[in-house]
Chains A and B, each alone.
Chain A
Amino acid sequence: SAVISQKPSRDICQRGTSLTIQCQVDSQVTMMFWYRQQPGQSLTLIATANQGSEATYESGFVIDKFPISRPNLTFSTLTVSNMSPEDSSIYLCSAGQGEGYEQYFGPGTRLTVT
């Protein structure tokens, strides 16, 4: 299994600012993903981070709001732009490796927007 770390683990940000979350995997992986989890709720896929090409966004999520980078096979960033209190959530990075589609998750970044 892959070991995934995220930075920061939590942050409190002001409305209108942006925050970039980093995700580091301890081994090269084919695919990386970003999810959002509202407190007490399930996970929703934001986008698939593609190495060497633009991320693939799910319905309801757009690149201008959640730009994503994937410069190599072990690292990705998610930026939450022009934040509002509705963006307060836990943001989770995951990595997929192997033909069994397993995904392993990082510890998450807890974001509070005031």
Chain B
Amino acid sequence: GESVGLHLPTLSVQEGDNSIINCAYSNSASDYFIWYKQESGKGPQFIIDIRSNMDKRQGQRVTVLLNKTVKHLSLQIAATQPGDSAVYFCAENREAGFQKLVFGTGTRLLVSP
């Protein structure tokens, strides 16, 4: 499976810093990727997506970068705020034409004031 148990990788940053969360995906045929934010006790919240024919996409304070050569995805959060503290998941759509997402293991982001 995709999980690694209770010990999620953790990224600790100071408020105002830029955060970079990384994700390695496994299927070179994956055509679509999504980043989700999950706060404790809540469902995943859609942040930003990117198609495989793009390298970069920007949203409000967030940027997703896709490197298909090394099958790597990253989420950059500018001017990180305490409200950004959560677990972040990347998800890949492995079957073109089907909406079947496979989730990564997740990264916990801790933002200190």
Interface centre among A101, A102, A106 (most CB of B within 10 A): A101
- How far apart sit A102 and B103, CA to CA, in the bound complex (Å)? 14
CB-based nearest B residue for A6: B43
CB-based nearest A residue for B93: A101
The answer to whether the Cβ of B25 comes within 8 Å of any Cβ in the partner chain is: no
Residues from chain B with Cβ under 8 Å of A42 in the complex: 1-3, 89, 103-106
**One of B12-20, B44-52, B66-74 contacting the partner:** B44-52
Please encode chain B, from 14 to 43, with 1 for each CB lying within 8 Å of some chain A CB and 0 for all others: 000000000000000000101010000011
CB-based nearest A residue for B33: A101
Let me know if A45 and B5 touch, CB within 8 A.
Answer: no
Say how far B90's CB is from chain A's closest CB, in angstroms.
10
Let me know if B3 and A107 touch, CB within 8 A.
Answer: no
Number of A-B contacts (CB under 8 A): 70
The answer, among A44, A48, A102, for a CB contact under 8 Å with B46, is A102
Say how far B85's CB is from chain A's closest CB, in angstroms.
16
- How far apart sit A92 and B45, CA to CA, in the bound complex (Å)? 12
Let me know if B1 and A44 touch, CB within 8 A.
Answer: yes
The answer to whether the Cβ of A13 comes within 8 Å of any Cβ in the partner chain is: no
The answer to whether the Cβ of A20 comes within 8 Å of any Cβ in the partner chain is: no
Say how far B44's CB is from chain A's closest CB, in angstroms.
5
CB-based nearest B residue for A43: B103
The answer to whether the Cβ of B60 comes within 8 Å of any Cβ in the partner chain is: no
Say how far A112's CB is from chain B's closest CB, in angstroms.
14
Residues from chain A with Cβ under 8 Å of B32 in the complex: 100-101
The answer to whether the Cβ of A39 comes within 8 Å of any Cβ in the partner chain is: yes
CB-based nearest A residue for B36: A105
The answer, among B43, B91, B100, B106, for a CB contact under 8 Å with A107, is B43
Residue ranges of A at the interface with B (Cβ–Cβ < 8 Å):
1, 4, 31, 33, 38-45, 48, 58, 92, 94, 96, 100-108
Mind listing 9 A-B residue pairs with CB under 8 Å? A42-B103, A42-B104, A42-B105, A43-B2, A94-B43, A102-B34, A103-B101, A105-B44, A107-B43
